[in-house]
Amino acid sequence: MTFPDTPFKDADSFVDAYASAVRNALASIDRTQFTSAATLLAAAYGAGRTVYVCGNGGSAAIANHLHCDHLKGIQTDTDIKPRVVSLVSGMETITAIANDISYADVFVYQLRTLADADDVLITVSSSGDSENVVRAVHWAKDNGIKVLALTGFAGGRSAAMADVNIHVVGDNYGVVEDAHQSIMHMLAQYLRMQKMSPDLIRDRKF
């Protein structure tokens, strides 16, 4: 069974079904893996390591949004200074690598240039099997870089290789991407709150 697998008689019923699919995807998050992801990122940010993030299509938008909410959002009201680099934000660099070398190398080429051992790579991929993402994960694993993979569908090669895999149950790209966006937000807000007083948390809008 996939979602959707039948036409809907009206917009209202599709909203209800879609909302249910998103709820199920979020409910499927392995809390142990989420905790491991939060621990990994807290350690990296606390040690001044760099966190890289990448993805394709809608997942590229989530990667750029993560750059904003983690670099700026986590820093607000805290003493954390997150170093975050989105590997999808430099269109000139991406198109140069894709044109001159290969689209499959657009992320790994940047990692080879920028990343150091003990940095972190976050991959956002619904299938977990995009070749450019998989190549980045391979290189990271071979060079002492921890990998946090956000996946859906069957998880793909990214899920199998990652140090931490937050997998959501879903076979609809919109649903999986909605869940990944929520995970990105949850990680940012949780890490921020760990460095805030209860009074300050009550006073702020998240």
Q: What is the mean pLDDT of residues 21-42?
A: 98
Domains and CATH numbers, the chain: 30-203 (3.40.50.10490)
Give the other-Cβ count within 10 Å of 133's Cβ.
29
Confidence of residue 196 (pLDDT cuts 50, 70, 90): very high
Confidence of residue 1 (pLDDT cuts 50, 70, 90): low
Report the chain's terminal Cα–Cα distance, integer Å. 37
CB 106 within 8 A of CB 132: yes
Q: What is the mean pLDDT of residues 73-96?
A: 98
Strands (E), the chain: 50-55, 83-86, 120-124, 146-151, 164-167
pLDDT at 92: 98
Quote the CA–CA distance of 136 and 47 in Å, as a whole number: 23
pLDDT at 61: 98
Task: Map tokens 């040690």 to a residue.
Answer: 47
5: pLDDT strictly greater than 90: yes
Quote the CA–CA distance of 157 and 129 in Å, as a whole number: 6
- Say what the pTM is: 0.97
CB 77 within 8 A of CB 204: yes
Quote the CA–CA distance of 109 and 106 in Å, as a whole number: 6
Predicted confidence (pLDDT) per residue in 41-54, tens digit:
999 999 999 999 99
2: pLDDT strictly greater than 80: yes
Count of residues making up the chain: 206
CB 169 within 8 A of CB 144: no
Predicted confidence (pLDDT) per residue in 156-185, tens digit:
999 999 999 999 999 999 999 999 999 999
Per-residue DSSP letter, 104: G
